[in-house]
A and B are shown apart, each in its own frame.
Chain A
Amino acid sequence: MAKLSLQPVHTRILTEYDDIVNAIAYYGGDDIGSEDIVCVAETVVAITQGRVTRPEELKPSWQARLLNRFVPKEGSMASIYGMQAAMDAEGEWKTMFWFVVGAIAKLFKKRGVFYKHVRQASLIDDVTGTMPPYDKHIVYGPANADKLCDKIVKKTGAYGAVVADVNDLKRSAVLGASRGINPKEIARILIDNPFGNDSQMTPIVIIKDYANVRNG
């Protein structure tokens, strides 16, 4: 495939009082064409869906207090609030079950079992994980990402849309995509993190002329 052009779109800080589809249409505007793919950062999608909470609003269970002690100190699940947020989203006993299974699997050198089955544990951003004013919040992963992408396509007339989780450590995943879009291919295109860091406030990236380049 020929080299694709990636165009970051600057926005103001979007909050739970914004509608992400309208925001994409507003800020993307005429830059979004019928051959383009609209990519939107998963954290911003989650925030606009109101999928945020604060430690002050959570009541850590004994399961969260127990499990967080066995997570390396750098991770979001190392805090009782991050762990409790994952448990609230996925269920306390389910989280505990997969945590134990994951620990056993690690003994057999199989990593990532816990995060594979308790998806929110890998998607949650703990306090400090997001830019102000959400640096004091815990941000969950987005909900109904595929449906949202279909809505974005309908509203903007783009060729496709994806919700992506990308960082500077060359980790790229597509959490939701509109019909007909190959998530793995888009994840590879986004691997260099065209969203930049939070302070650049470019949560939308347009893959220009994708359909033409792909078919041409």
Chain B
Amino acid sequence: MIILTIVDICMTIIGVIAIGYLAFRIFAKMQGDERIVFQTKKHTNFRLEDISFDKVHLVAEVPYKNLGKQNGTIMDCFARAYLPREQFDTVSVETWVCDVKRKRSDNYWESVIIEANKGGLVEVHLILKGLNGNIRDDAQYFPHMSVDIIAQIVGRSDWHMTKSRIVLHPDDVSRALAI
């Protein structure tokens, strides 16, 4: 009899914990989280920002939006250009990303909170430098170059990294350099 009572109590406790856990999971699911996405399909073409004899500075704008139900924070964000020397070896690339509302050129991303259903724009900056000294010569026949926007994002749950890709087209480079 006593054993049955103890088993009953244990089963009740386990049942209450299980129901509580299930209720919490349902609540968390309904509450949601951030879902910050970089809308790369809507990015602008790279445009000329500045040019000198040996380098050219190009900028494109990429919108982002928090499609989730909770606030999210972009803790860090940077760009990575993929131009291996096997593909093209006469230009080096420098990159950075900044929020258009907090423009800066020190390659430092200032953490920003994005409210649910709100968004903004980031600028992706590329400086192409001719390794032989003349960017117009060095950037001739420039290939398609992938640029990833890499962001560290946190909301209600664990921080995570995202990668979103845009492409610098040869036409953008030619247009900027007038070649």
Contact = CB atoms under 8 A, between A and B. Distances in A.
Whether both chains belong to one complex is answered with yes
Interface of A: 55-56, 60, 65-66, 68-69, 73-74, 78-81, 127-128, 132-133, 135-136
B75 A79 contact: no
A6 to B, nearest CB: 29
A47 B48 CA distance: 41
A78 B71 contact: yes
B157 A80 contact: yes
A74 B115 CA distance: 9
Given A55-B159, A79-B156, A128 B24 contact: no
Interface string B23-53: 0100110010000000000000000000000
Contacts of A73: 70-71, 116, 156
Majority-rule SS of A interface residues? helix
A56 B24 contact: no
Contacts of B116: 73
B111 interface: yes
B108 interface: yes
Interface in B134-165: 154-159
Contacts of A133: 108
Given A56-B159, A136-B111, A79 B154 contact: yes
Contacts of A55: 75, 154, 159
Given A55-B154, A69-B24, A73-B116, 15 more contacts: A55-B75, A55-B159, A66-B24, A69-B28, A73-B70, A73-B156, A74-B71, A78-B70, A79-B156, A80-B157, A127-B111, A128-B73, A128-B112, A132-B108, A135-B110
A133 B107 CA distance: 12
Contacts of B75: 55, 127, 136
Contacts of B71: 73-74, 78
B76 interface: yes
A68 B110 contact: no
Interface of B: 24, 27-28, 31, 70-71, 73, 75-76, 108, 110-113, 116, 154-159
B73 A127 contact: yes
A211 B12 CA distance: 66
Contacts of B157: 65, 80
B111 A135 contact: yes
A131 B73 CA distance: 15
A132 B73 contact: no
A73 B154 CA distance: 12
A78 B72 CA distance: 11
24 contacts: A55-B159, A56-B159, A60-B158, A65-B157, A69-B24, A69-B27, A73-B71, A73-B116, A78-B70, A78-B71, A79-B73, A79-B154, A79-B155, A80-B157, A80-B158, A127-B73, A127-B111, A127-B154, A128-B112, A128-B113, A132-B108, A133-B108, A135-B110, A136-B111
Contacts of A65: 157
Contacts of B28: 69
B22 to A, nearest CB: 13
Contacts of B154: 55, 79, 81, 127
Contacts of A127: 73, 75, 111, 154
Contacts of A78: 70-71, 156
Contacts of B155: 79
A135 B27 CA distance: 30
A145 B75 CA distance: 30
A139 to B, nearest CB: 13
Given A78-B71, A128-B73, A69 B111 contact: no
B49 to A, nearest CB: 23
